[in-house]
Chains A and B, each alone.
Chain A
Amino acid sequence: SSGFAWKDGAEIYAKICAYCHEAQVGPQIRNRELPTKYIRTIVRNGNRAMPAFRISEIDDESLAKLADFISKKEVPH
């Protein structure tokens, strides 16, 4: 059997980012329409207190989906 792979941007956000960015550890990043390029740069390089994430953890394609998920404004129900 093959190993684990991410489903979509929402899953990555929930299983990694949200533990800090929805818990007052990191700043809020959703609904700010942050540029996807900026998100990708921060994830790969880390930023001060924030650790970096490798291609082996979040592959380029998944990171694109994640950046897209974060940058999009949530539509209110």
Chain B
Amino acid sequence: MTSKYIALPKGVSEKDFDAAISDFRKVLGDASVLTSAEQLAPYIKTMMPVSDAEHTPSAALLATTVEQIQKIVAICNQYKVPIWMISTGKNLGYGAAAPAERGQVVLDLKRMNRILEVDKDLAYALVEPGVTYQQLYDYIKEHKLGLWLSMPAPSAIAGPVGNTLDRGVGYTPYGEHFLFACGMEVVLANGEVLRTGMGSMPNSNTWQVFKWGYGPYLDGIFTQSNYGIVTKFGFWLMPEPPAFRPFVIQYQHEEDIVEIVETIRPLRISGVIPNAVVIAHALYEAPVKAKRSDYVSGPGSIPDEAVYQIMKDHKLGIWNVYAALYGTQEQIDVNWNIVTQAFGQSGKAKILTEQEAADDPAFAYRAKLMRGDMTLTEFSLYNWRGGGGSMWFAPVSQARGSETLKQMALTKQILAKYGLDYSGEFIVGMRDMHHIVDVLYDKTDPEQTKAAYQCFDELLTEFSARGYGIYRVNTAFMDKVAETYGPVQRSVHKTLKKALDPNGILAPGKSGIR
């Protein structure tokens, strides 16, 4: 039997879905309810090693107002239609814009894209979900507000709401994005509109300046979750500093990560280096400068000798530490002395300033990311093997040298077993590291795709067995990661879900919650 839909939501008859679609059209207009294969094609492209059929949506809804969203959830409750919410929908390597489960209706908020407020003095923004970093960047420049953004590498085409709701990170001193979030507006499954923090108080002007409000602090339960639909989002912006000094420190041996981390930690915790520093492996930076196919061919992971050759040919360390100083010239000069002394001690580090590395394309894009300028240069990672296969493997680590080396060695060993390369970096918090590994494979090659799936599964199994948890994951592996955090947490998540969304209409499956 053929359906007029490319997929149907789980447990929903075609008759009921017809009725729901008809009601959606009344709310949004025909042009904002997408059901044809052609219209839905862009929602289906993911980089995950599973069949597209597993994440095919049944429809997409383009809403632009809170009132429309309230009406949509009412319809979803009536017909038990599950919706998958996206903001800018550029969650590449984590599932992109496709729903967690086949047949879910994508609620696409990209067109709900007003910049509601940017306050120059208090340095905050209040935006809708569809606002991109590029849009905000242009607005700030146009109005000469003197504020800097922090964004992930997909910068221009991604946005602060979607990124922060998945607890993504950037590379400036404001790089831990959720830490700098302040105030949300959320449409709940019952249609009510909740404003968190000070936003619940009538006539308040402190929604974007004081995070906690009164009573339980709720913002966190709306991140990496499916308890509500975030329709407004406030966050703090960094004032543009008078001076900015990006630099890179290169090391030649993989074991040197121990020294790097032990040197950085006190500088990070004390605030001498204030930004989310990156310790990037040679293979993470190589795609900006080199082609994999120029160094290796055939199956298997890249041999260490080829990596050393790439380092030599393209002036990369095996570890490349990108960091920056911010402030007045005097502040930077003082901190620069502290940094160069700390890294100069062992004689292993090669420190390069902006002047020395100016022509280096890897340095140039890193400097942009560390000052909140738009660049998509890091997408060159996807050319390393090509073919559109990429999953982020992102375990959390202590900022302790011995731990980072252990995690790196284990990751590399498991990747090699499946013929894949270690393209990894550590994003340095104060006490934590986001150990970010791009599991790159050729999705047009069925054998390699199968290997990539098994490889990712083994990475999760082996890391969790050693007590290493994952901070964020693609939609194909959300259940598996949820399991690693144990039954009590899962049951609390489920209890909250039942209380806030008894019909289970909001993104069932997100973070393993349904």
Interface residues of A (CB under 8 A from B): 1-4, 15-16, 19-20, 23-25, 44-57
Report the minimal beta-carbon distance from A65 to chain B, rounded to whole angstroms. Answer: 18
- A28, B45: Cα distance in complex, Å: 22
Task: Tell me if A15 and B134 are in contact (CB < 8 A).
Answer: yes
Q: When A and B form their complex, which 8 residue pairs have the shortest distance between CB atoms, in order from nearest?
A: A52-B42, A56-B110, A19-B376, A49-B382, A46-B45, A3-B113, A48-B388, A52-B45
Which B residues fall within an 8 A CB radius of A? Answer: 34, 38-39, 41-45, 60, 62, 64, 88-90, 92, 96-97, 108, 110-114, 128, 130-131, 134-135, 138, 156-157, 374-377, 379-380, 382-383, 386-388, 443-444
Chain B residue numbers with a CB within 8 Å of A23 are 375-377
A29 to B190, CA, bound (A): 48
A20 & B379 in contact (Cβ 8 Å cutoff)? yes
Tell me the smallest distance from the CB of B203 to a CB of chain A, in Å: 22
Rounded to whole angstroms, the CA-CA distance of A46 and B444 in the bound complex is 13
Q: Which residues of chain A come closer than 8 Å to B92, judged between CB atoms?
A: 51
Q: Is the interface of A mostly helix, strand, loop or mixed?
A: loop
22 A-B residue pairs with Cβ-Cβ distance under 8 Å, sorted by A, are A3-B111, A3-B114, A4-B130, A4-B135, A25-B376, A25-B383, A44-B38, A48-B444, A49-B379, A49-B382, A49-B383, A51-B96, A52-B41, A52-B42, A52-B43, A54-B42, A54-B60, A54-B108, A55-B42, A56-B62, A56-B108, A57-B157
Alpha-carbon gap, A19 to B60, bound state (A): 27
The answer on a CB contact under 8 Å between A56 and B134 is no
The answer on a CB contact under 8 Å between B130 and A56 is yes
Contact in complex: B377, A48 (CB < 8 Å): no
C-alpha gap A31/B108 in the complex (Å)? 34
Chain B: CB-nearest residue to A1: B114
Contacts of B134 in A (CB 8 A): 15-16
Q: How far is the CA of A14 from the CA of B273 in the complex (A)?
A: 33
Name the A residues within 8 Å of B111 (CB-CB). Answer: 3, 56
- A75 vs B466: C-alpha distance when bound (angstroms): 61
Partner of B374, one of A4, A19, A47, A54: A19
Rounded to whole angstroms, the CA-CA distance of A55 and B41 in the bound complex is 10
Q: Which partner residue on chain A sits nearest B39 by CB separation?
A: A55
